[in-house]
């Protein structure tokens, strides 16, 4: 099990690398994270209806959601991703409200419960999924969340040491040495754990190290004298490792060396970074496109010079649209579109591009009487469409072909794209706009539209930029194969850990 001395220590990265490392030994491997809080989700195989109570192995025909990190970990493990690998996903909708997704399905019951009461309801499902995956696999690579030593959370823990105790897991505790204070983080975390939980810590890992590792001495030896736990790996800083960022947004410091062509300005793609941004991981491939600069915009000034403006997914479309207007970004986006600039809306971004958003059930406000309960909200009016929100969520994988696309997006004509949908709203032509002759060109049935001028495109399909055919059509670029990314990660961990330690970690006691 991979635990972190803090958030951002590199748990997800290391768990992904270990999944591929052990899979390369010919072992059957799967990932597991009991609870993840993220608006980055993927669509995977769900359980049969009768098995959602037990977490048993029979998979159903319906799709479900898990956190993106566990999806990529499953691919690294050469396993088929399914909802048991992340049985509880919390998707923040506001600072004090999250939608609870249990075994792949949004659970109104769990969402409505006070936070302190959720664990008792969720734990039996988590334990059943954990037991089922342990029974089916040679190695289960488990990831914790945050820190296991959050003493205010310990009595209701369902993701860290409770999971470790249930599985009898051997644990690695990871610290981000680049932040400074890594040895204090490791010792403090260890010291706050109960004695029985300390016994589960098999090794400390120093992650994101820059410089000469010999300069760390004698601190690792002193830490071992204090705790009895050896430091088993020092992992060098891995820039541009190829995995999507799980939390936060990228910034210009993450731009790969040599972005843009010498002597020519780069193509600038500005993605609106609203507060409830979702599925930001789908933009990872753009970071590797030669001649492309990816920026995240929270103010109109950050859109200056942008060739494309992208309105990404949102877990709270109504409140993010209100935020957009409060920042003055709506006027900047509209001006860009009217000047012929390219605008792309994905999922919630598509909904905002329309003329109207209708919320008769209060889905966007957490129920009738909430932030938008029962209200009709004007959209940006760049596409003559209307979206109606409904409680039932669309969760599915999709493979669709673009029809005849005109204008600046014409390169997508006839391109078949694979991706996934996760949304509550359904979108259609706006009747009043249609009556006066303003209609959108439908490029995929119920999935994609563009305006008459051709420069504004809206799609429900997430994952467009992960599709090789789309990257070739738009940029003439090749996507970096995920297998190449996973193999490099596996090589890094194999070189970084003490000889023989990773094999000892999975041996029966």
Give the DSSP letter string of 276-327. Answer: TEE-GGGGGGGGGSTTEEEEEESSGGGGTT-SEEEE-EESSHHHHHHHHHHT
Rg for the chain, CA atoms, rounded? 24
Cβ(62)–Cβ(174) below 8 Å: no
- HSE of 506, CA atoms in CB hemisphere, 13 A: 19
Which residue in the block uniquely carries the two structure tokens 């940029």? 475
Within 10 angstroms of residue 165's Cβ, the number of other Cβ atoms is 14
Within 10 angstroms of residue 236's Cβ, the number of other Cβ atoms is 15
Instruction: Burial-class residue 431 by CB neighbours within 10 Å (0-12, 13-18, 19+).
Output: exposed
Which of 489, 496, 485 shows the shortest CA–CA distance to 172? 496
- Which residue of the set 19, 171, 347, 400 is catalytic? 347
- Which residue of the set 21, 125, 185, 462 is catalytic? 462
**Would residue 462 show up in a list of annotated catalytic residues for this protein?**
yes
CA torsion sign for 31, 139, 175, 208 is negative
Order across the sheet with 385-401: list the strands. Answer: 376-378, 356-358, 385-401, 416-429
Residue 385's H or E segment, with its range, is: strand 385-401
Rounded to whole angstroms, the Cα distance separating 109 from 118 reads 10
Rounded to whole angstroms, the Cα distance separating 234 from 116 reads 37
369: left (phi over 0), alpha (psi -120 to 50) or beta: left
Within 10 angstroms of residue 242's Cβ, the number of other Cβ atoms is 17
Cβ(111)–Cβ(98) below 8 Å: yes
The strand pairing partners of 191, in sequence order, are none
Rounded to whole angstroms, the Cα distance separating 240 from 256 reads 7
Rounded to whole angstroms, the Cα distance separating 254 from 284 reads 11
Rounded to whole angstroms, the Cα distance separating 1 from 15 reads 8
The strand pairing partners of 339, in sequence order, are none
Tell me the two tokens of residue 399. Answer: 């493979």
Tell me the two tokens of residue 429. Answer: 């032509």
Cβ(30)–Cβ(140) below 8 Å: yes
Q: Angle, nearest 10°, between helix axes 482-496 and 11-23? A: 90
Within 10 angstroms of residue 493's Cβ, the number of other Cβ atoms is 19
Tell me the two tokens of residue 398. Answer: 């999709």
Rounded to whole angstroms, the Cα distance separating 480 from 243 reads 10
> Which residues are designated catalytic?
347, 462
């Amino acid at each position: 099990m991979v635990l972190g001395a803090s958030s951002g220590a590199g748990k997800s990265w290391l768990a992904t690398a270990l999944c591929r490392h052990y899979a390369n030994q010919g072992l059957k491997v799967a990932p597991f994270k009991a609870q993840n809080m993220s608006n980055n989700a993927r669509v995977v195989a769900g359980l049969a209806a009768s098995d959602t109570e037990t977490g048993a192995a029979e998979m159903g025909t319906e799709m479900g959601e898990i956190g993106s990190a566990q999806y990529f970990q499953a691919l690294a493990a050469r396993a088929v991703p399914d909802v048991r690998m992340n049985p509880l996903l919390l998707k923040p909708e506001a600072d004090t409200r999250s939608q609870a997704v249990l075994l792949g399905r949004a659970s109104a019951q769990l969402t409505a419960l006070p936070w302190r009461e959720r664990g008792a309801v969720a734990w039996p499902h988590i334990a059943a999924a954990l037991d089922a995956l342990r029974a089916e696999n040679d190695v289960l690579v488990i990831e914790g969340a945050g820190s296991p030593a959050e003493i205010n959370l310990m009595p209701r823990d369902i993701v860290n040491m409770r999971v470790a105790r249930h599985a009898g897991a051997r644990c690695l505790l990871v610290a981000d040495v680049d932040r400074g204070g890594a040895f204090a983080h490791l010792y403090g975390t260890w010291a706050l754990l109960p004695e029985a939980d300390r016994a589960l810590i098999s090794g400390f890992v120093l992650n994101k190290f820059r410089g000469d590792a010999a300069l760390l001495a004698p601190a690792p030896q002193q830490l071992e004298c204090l705790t009895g736990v050896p430091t088993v790996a020092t992992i060098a800083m891995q820039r541009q490792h190829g995995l999507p960022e799980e939390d936060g947004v990228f910034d210009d410091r993450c731009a790969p060396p040599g972005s843009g062509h010498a002597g020519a300005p780069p193509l600038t793609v500005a993605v609106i970074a609203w507060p409830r941004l979702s599925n930001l991981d789908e933009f990872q491939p753009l970071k590797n496109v030669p001649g492309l600069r990816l920026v995240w915009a929270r103010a109109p000034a950050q859109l200056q010079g942008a060739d494309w403006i992208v309105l990404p997914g949102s877990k709270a479309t109504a409140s993010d649209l209100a935020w957009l207007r409060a920042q003055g970004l709506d006027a900047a986006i509209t001006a860009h579109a009217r000047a012929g600039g390219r605008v792309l809306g994905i999922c919630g971004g598509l909904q905002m591009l329309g003329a109207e958003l209708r919320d008769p059930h209060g889905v966007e406000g957490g129920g009738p009487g909430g932030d938008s309960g029962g209200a009709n909200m004007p959209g940006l009016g760049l596409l003559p469409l209307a979206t109606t929100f409904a409680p039932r969520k669309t969760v599915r994988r999709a493979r669709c072909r673009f029809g005849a696309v005109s204008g600046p997006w014409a390169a997508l004509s006839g391109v078949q794209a694979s991706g996934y949908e996760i949304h509550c709203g359904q979108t259609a032509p706006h009747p009043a706009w249609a009556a006066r002759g303003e209609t959108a060109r439908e490029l995929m049935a119920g999935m994609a539209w563009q305006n008459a001028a051709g420069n504004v495109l809206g799609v429900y399909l997430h994952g467009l930029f992960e599709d090789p055919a789309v990257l070739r059509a738009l940029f003439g670029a090749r996507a970096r194969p995920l297998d190449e990314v996973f193999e490099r990660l596996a090589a890094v961990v194999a070189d970084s850990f003490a000889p023989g330690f990773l094999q000892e970690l999975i041996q029966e006691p």
